[in-house]
Amino acid sequence: MSYRGRAKQFLESQNISIGDMISIKKEAVEYRGMLLDRAEDADQLHLVLKMASGYNVGIALDGAEVELLEKGEKPEINLPPLDIQQDPEKKDVSIISTGGTVASIIDYKTGAVHPAFTADDLLRATPELLDEANISGKAIMNILSENMKPEFWVQAAQAVADEISGGADGVVVAHGTDTMHYTAAALSFILETPVPIVLTGAQRSSDRPSSDAFLNLMSSVAMAKSDIAEVTVCMHSTENDNQAHIHRGTRVRKMHTSRRDTFNSINSPPMARVKEGKVKIIDKNFHYHKRGECQLEVNDSLEEKVGFIKSYPGITTELLDYHIDNGYKGLLIEGTGLGHCPDHLIPSLQRAADEKIPVVMTSQCLYGRTNLNVYSTGRKLLTAGVIPAGDMLPEVAYVKLVWALGQTSQREEVKKIMQTNLKGEINEKSSSKYFLRDYGE
């Protein structure tokens, strides 16, 4: 249990554990109910009771007379396994879970939320998936997406590859939304795929009836059955529950802390829209890899020691020097405007170049492309060996640099990789359509 200090001592001395029915008497009143666990970060002075009405209350231990009424059974969820028949008419879609609660089960007795990890749990929560495909599922890790690390990208990529070589017609990766776009980029560079790989998640956790998880999952499975054999992100396209967008894994970014339609394609339109289970390409001119066009291939050596630095008006050289001094193999800079940083950083950047550390320049504007020829600072940065990343998103360029340095340690090779379009992450042409703005004017 998560009770600590005084509360824990007290409960242990009374032989009371979570799930027991207890009575707590205070001056004028008696509370009866089931003892619940307490949040780990809460104080040590209160007990939490679930009353018969279903309400939880916290009752201070001070001046309380506690009595054990009945030992309870430790609440646990025991669900019978599902017996699902494979339908040879349907496509096989694998769902890989990396954590986050795309599906969860609520224990109403305690009110606790249990993430659904196994395919069975997932199907119990979303049985409609079975109408769409033969679903098999695997939980490969259970981490919040803010805790993702490059080594987990490799794990995820290998798990996806296993599913593909095992015959899956498409793979859905359930992922926390915070860093979903990093993982999407990583899988894009690591894998050559003959089938669709779709990342999805939920902005409103699936323990609430209004969760966006259902539409996202259903649309992802539809996408996994499609002809688009690329790594993509599938999430709500508006605040409405009736349509999802498919974003290319190297073009997508989380743009809102909480909205359902948080994911946007930047410097590119979304690839497709999914409505009522149908995938429709948005821009007919959009080139994409078709199912079966290439063989499965895994290039998963990465160089984790890459720094990611944002330029800002008060930035000092120490930040750059720290990375150089501490053996970083590459630096990704999120510059201002066309791709600038203050010129007092140039000596440090020159130092990085001298030590053969590639320094890649992106823009914190996100929209548009870098151009280091327009202003003198830009030209000086070029002279100092900085590699402009074009219209690549900073996060994507960071992931690409991690991957490129895993492929080669030659600075010139890295530069070539960074400036070559591999997975749709670079586009030479900018369109006026790629900048969204709607103030209802």
Candidate list 98, 110, 126, 177, residue with the active-site label: 177
Contact flag: residue 214 with other proteins (CB under 8 A) = yes
**Spatial contact of 14 and 66, defined as CB atoms under 8 Å apart:** yes
- What DSSP line would sit under 241-296, residue for residue? TT-EEEEETTTEEE--SS-TT-EEESSS--SEEEETTEEEES-TT---PBTTSS--
Candidate list 178, 227, 241, 321, residue with the active-site label: 178
Q: Which residue do the tokens 């990611």 mark?
A: 308
Q: How is residue 371 written in tokens?
A: 């151009």
Give the x-and-dash track for 389-408 against other proteins (CB under 8 A): --------------------
The residue range among 25-33, 144-152, 186-194, 226-234 that interacts with other proteins, by the rule CB under 8 A, is 25-33
Give the x-and-dash track for 235-254 against other proteins (CB under 8 A): ----xxxx------------
The residue count for binding other proteins (CB under 8 A) is 51
Q: Which residue do the tokens 């004028």 mark?
A: 28
Contact flag: residue 124 with other proteins (CB under 8 A) = yes
Beta bridge partners of 250: none
Q: How is residue 168 written in tokens?
A: 């899956």
**Spatial contact of 370 and 389, defined as CB atoms under 8 Å apart:** yes
What are the start-end ranges of the E strands in 276-419? 278-281, 297-298, 306-310, 330-335, 359-363, 387-388
Question: Does the annotation mark 121 as catalytic?
Answer: no
242 vs 421 by CB, closer to other proteins:
242
Contact flag: residue 131 with other proteins (CB under 8 A) = no
> What are the angstrom distances between the C-alpha of 353 and each of 348, 388, 411?
9, 14, 9
CB of 36 to other proteins, least distance (A): 8
70 vs 428 by CB, closer to other proteins:
70
Candidate list 121, 126, 200, 254, residue with the active-site label: 254
- For residue 14, the tally of other CB atoms under 10 A from its CB is 13
> What are the angstrom distances between the C-alpha of 256 and each of 178, 186, 239, 263?
10, 21, 12, 8
Residue choice 29, 70, 327, 438 for contact with other proteins (CB under 8 A):
29
Q: Quick one: how far is CA 175 from the chain centroid?
A: 5
**Spatial contact of 268 and 245, defined as CB atoms under 8 Å apart:** no
Residue choice 200, 206, 219, 311 for contact with other proteins (CB under 8 A):
206
Contact flag: residue 25 with other proteins (CB under 8 A) = no
Contact flag: residue 69 with other proteins (CB under 8 A) = no
Distance CA 265, CA 267 (A): 7
Give the x-and-dash track for 412-441 against other proteins (CB under 8 A): ----------------------------x-
Contact flag: residue 60 with other proteins (CB under 8 A) = yes
Contact flag: residue 37 with other proteins (CB under 8 A) = no
Contact flag: residue 46 with other proteins (CB under 8 A) = yes
CB of 128 to other proteins, least distance (A): 10
Distance CA 88, CA 144 (A): 35
Contact flag: residue 57 with other proteins (CB under 8 A) = yes
Burial of 86 (0-12, 13-18, 19+ CB in 10 A): exposed
Residue choice 2, 4, 12, 58 for contact with other proteins (CB under 8 A):
58
CB of 45 to other proteins, least distance (A): 8
Distance CA 436, CA 433 (A): 7
Contact flag: residue 55 with other proteins (CB under 8 A) = yes
Question: Does the annotation mark 262 as catalytic?
Answer: no
The residue range among 157-165, 204-212, 225-233, 395-403 that interacts with other proteins, by the rule CB under 8 A, is 204-212
Question: Does the annotation mark 101 as catalytic?
Answer: yes
Distance CA 261, CA 11 (A): 46
Catalytic residue IDs: 101, 177-178, 254
Q: Which residues bind other proteins (CB under 8 A)?
A: 26, 28-29, 31, 39, 42-43, 46, 48, 51-60, 77-79, 104-109, 111, 113, 124-125, 203-204, 206-211, 214-215, 239-242, 257-260, 440
